[in-house]
Chain A
Amino acid sequence: MSTTTPNPANTGTAVGSAATPLLQVDGVTAFYRDLQALFGITLKVMPGEIVALIGANGAGKTTLLRVISGVKQAAAGSVKFEGADVSRVPAHRMVARGVSHVPEGRQVFPFLTVRENLSLGAYTSRARASMKQSMEEQLALFPRLGERMNQLAGTLSGGEQQMVAIARGLMAKPKLLLLDEPSLGLAPKIVDEVFDKIQSVRQTGITMMIVEQNVVSGLSIADRGYVIQTGTVLLEDTSSNLLKNEMVRAAYLGL
């Protein structure tokens, strides 16, 4: 897979480099009551990059996204977005700052029409100003939604709902798009279609972080990847290196 952005391969020492990361996560821990889900995660995302988080079910990938988007508070550590500490910023303010989180399992508003779902994506005043234009952009990207605009989102197929969820996330005009398991519960053919769309989103230059259990699909569209295991970063490398890595192939590809 060709990449349009440079691959900062040796990430550990990039702090001194010229570009500031769009997102910097440092030593983040998180709990669900007494149960610890994250044990000090450190990672970063450079502007324009696509970063994949891969790992088994329950590794903490979703929790990490929730901490980044402000749905969940980190117990320790920090999250910096565009250089500013956003560890204590609640989710609704993170949207205004430019972080859009497309949650696991699609989670469209079932009794609202597709149009209403999309317009809720542009709820913040920043996104609302250009709502008409963003709506046209989304319909150009997802032409099938154009035919469904006045249908209740809950009546769409799983693949279509995923498109609504992604389009809704893009309506917020994000600088960083967090995609949680976009392939979850979709038929293989639809998964390919969804990843094609994500590929098109990348052409618009939006930075993305994708959580995927489908390791090949996830890594094939990403520049870099982090392998998360039991709440820690086990490995980080370029996608092509990770796909060649013996351990990744053994643990996640069954090769």
Chain B
Amino acid sequence: MPRFLTDFIQACMDGLLTGALYALIGMGLALIFGVMRIVNFAHGAFLMVGMYVSWVLFDKFQVNPYIGFLISGLFLFVFGYLVYRALIQPIRDRSDFMQILMTTGIALILVDSVQLKFGADYHQTIIDLTNRPPFSFGAFTLNRAALLSFVIAGVFIVGLQQFVVRSRTGQALRAIAQNREVAPLMGINVTMIQGFSFALGIAMAGLAGGLLLPALYLFPSVGEDYTLKAFVIVVLGGMGSIEGAAIGGLVLGMTESITSAYLGQQWALAVDFILFLLVLSLKPSGIFGRQRA
């Protein structure tokens, strides 16, 4: 196989591995947007909290991050629900502007609180798996830690999608996304389902945070890029479509990886936003079909 082809395939595979985590993050944001019509500008900050939870477990109790991420998810579910009840529910019918201010404010408070408690130092989480030589087959190699988080993220992506399509709560959630005025006439408790969806979306960010921990340096504002990326993913997939966000995440992961391979890593974020602007200006309903599910 010619070199340029193996390089390209390698970049695509690396991109898919990262993309699965992006998908998880984007699906959480899409879920919240779909059910509440709120763009959660604190999404990356919640992800960062998930990383810190997993890091504390690792640092203080030697819990492997590939187990700790589950606790991050659970913690963020409860935390997300409390934030919803205290701060989001009172403003859910207010203007977009109010919602942007509120979620941005939550992000600032989370980042600064974590900085107060844990300091601004960088932390690295070194586990056995990250030091093992990469998994290789033929001309290709794959990072073992990234491969493991890809598999785990895949399980949660499929699980969430199936939950939304098949379960009774999932059905209620889609009903609210499509017609919030009529959903209560079906007997759906909109306030309760919205709280649950918000918590679930935040839990997805928490899980992704836990899974990202071994791959990244940890510091309080590590989540900032992820808020923007999650937003790009959701726009790529069509605002509010959960399946679209999953595909959008994979596309973004591959775009970044290919950009890094050919132009250098410093261009990755720039290309993200070029893609974002292209989609917004050429096909604002997202690259994948219908407006929302």
The chain A residues found within 8 Å of chain B, CB to CB, are 69-71, 90-93, 95-96, 100-103, 107, 109-112, 116, 119-121, 123-124, 127, 168-169, 172
Contacts and interface: CB of A to CB of B under 8 A. Distances in A.
Given A120-B171, A123-B168, A123-B172, A103 B181 contact: yes
B178 A172 contact: no
A23 B2 CA distance: 79
Contact of B188 (A92, A100, A103): A92
A103 B185 contact: yes
B289 to A, nearest CB: 11
Interface string B197-208: 000000000000
B187 A112 contact: no
Interface in B139-197: 168, 171-172, 174-175, 178-179, 181-182, 184-190
25 contacts: A69-B185, A70-B184, A92-B187, A92-B189, A95-B186, A103-B181, A107-B179, A107-B181, A109-B174, A109-B175, A109-B178, A111-B174, A111-B178, A111-B290, A111-B292, A111-B293, A120-B175, A120-B186, A123-B168, A123-B187, A123-B188, A127-B187, A168-B186, A172-B186, A172-B187
A135 to B, nearest CB: 15
Contacts of B189: 90, 92
Given A71-B181, A107-B179, A112-B174, 9 more contacts: A90-B189, A95-B184, A107-B182, A111-B290, A112-B178, A120-B175, A123-B172, A124-B187, A127-B187
Interface string B123-149: 000000000000000000000000000
A17 B123 CA distance: 79
Given A109-B174, A116-B171, A123-B172, A90 B184 contact: yes
Contact of A112 (B175, B188, B290): B175
A91 B187 CA distance: 7
A85 B90 CA distance: 28
Nearest to A168: B186
A158 to B, nearest CB: 16
Interface string B261-293: 000000000000000000000000000001011
B184 A109 contact: no
A110 B179 CA distance: 9
A122 to B, nearest CB: 9
Given A111-B292, A120-B171, A103 B182 contact: yes
Contact of A101 (B172, B185, B188): B185
A93 B290 CA distance: 33
Contacts of A116: 171
Contact of A109 (B179, B187, B190, B290): B179
Nearest to B189: A92
Contacts of A121: 186
B178, B182, B187 — most chain A CB neighbours (10 Å)? B187
A142 to B, nearest CB: 18
Contact of A119 (B171, B178, B290): B171
Contact of A123 (B186, B290, B292): B186
B192 to A, nearest CB: 9
Contacts of B174: 109, 111-112
A95 B290 contact: no
B182 A92 contact: no
